[in-house]
Amino acid sequence: MSEVEEQQPSRSKIAIRLLYTVLYLVVFEVLKAVFYVTVLFQYAYLLITRKYSQPLRNFSNKLAAYAFRVIRYTTLNEQVKPFPFQEFPPELEPQQDPVRFD
């Protein structure tokens, strides 16, 4: 049996990955702000119309999938760089219908 030796990454590759990670941490902070705005807008819309905004639900579901990919990349659990270096990720889970307030 031949054992596969794991190559240790060079410090320059680690530094480059760290720079990407810092960039994505800034992106994640922007994502958090966008989440706050979408949640507040969705509830304001819901209180006024007593219906939720389906386009906003679609957007937030895709945004959640993107945030998940960013977190996985920054925590070294995924090799693939998230958007804008790859396609925007599809939704991870479908939306639950109907929305209930039990």
pLDDT for 99: 74
Residue type, 8: Q
pLDDT for 97: 76
Which parts of the chain have pLDDT scores under 50? 1-2
Which structure tokens are listed for 84?
Answer: 């804008």
Report domain extents, the chain: 12-74
Read off the DSSP letter of residue 77: S
pTM of structure = 0.80
pLDDT for 3: 52
Read off the DSSP letter of residue 98: S
pLDDT for 1: 47
Q: Return d(Cα 9, Cα 21) in angstroms, integer.
A: 16
Question: In 6-88, which residue ranges form alpha helices assigned H by DSSP?
Answer: 11-49, 54-74
